[in-house]
Amino acid sequence: MALSFGAREAAIVTKRHAGRPPEAYLPLPPATFHILLALADGEQHGYAIMKGVTARSEGTVRLGPGTLYGALKRLLETGLVQEGGERADPERGDERRRYYRLTQLGLSVARAEAQRLEAMVRAARRKKLIGVRPA
């Protein structure tokens, strides 16, 4: 399968990040974590990722094309995401769309970030910052 410009560039940069543990990528920028969460459901194209992020965050995080593809470019370069080929989405017309999927490293990084956030939430709960009704 022929690699797109972005994927070729990413393959070169990914070599530079090879061997880094998942924790080395933390903390993740919120938009990046949202994209990884969206891709945890499986291969998706840009618009599906964008809609998924908006739905999951209940509209609090809205990724525009620039923010989304900027983040995807970085994720490809760091080897957290890879391209899954181009094909049309029957629900969105005949235009061929580029699909993206999580790599094993991307999945590990998303897990590590989720655990980091969970630990922070636990700490906040212990300090009674959340989970307590205000008087």
Partner 1 sequence: MNAERIYRLLLRAYPPEFRAGYEREMVLLFRDQCQESDVRTLRFWGAVIYDVARSAPALRVEAWRQSTRTMEGIMKLAAMLTVLLGVLNILNAVVEWVAGSKQAVSGAYVLAVALGILASVLLLAAGVAILRGTRGWQAARLALFASLVMIVAARLLFPWMSIFSQLIGIGMPVGLLIALYWPRRASPLGAA
* Interacting residues with partner 1 (CB under 8 A): 4-6, 9, 17, 25, 28-29, 31-32, 46-47, 50, 62, 64-75, 77-78, 80, 92, 95, 97-98
CB of 42 to partner 1, least distance (A): 19
User: Is 18 within 8 Å of 79 (Cβ atoms)?
Assistant: yes
Q: With respect to partner 1, which residue has the nearer C-beta, 66 or 131?
A: 66
CB of 123 to partner 1, least distance (A): 22
Distances 106 to 15, 33, 58, 75, 125 between C-alpha atoms, Å: 15, 10, 24, 8, 28
Q: With respect to partner 1, which residue has the nearer C-beta, 42 or 72?
A: 72
Q: With respect to partner 1, which residue has the nearer C-beta, 25 or 82?
A: 25
User: Is 87 within 8 Å of 97 (Cβ atoms)?
Assistant: yes
Residue 93 class from Cβ within 10 Å (0-12 exposed, 13-18 middle, 19+ buried)? exposed
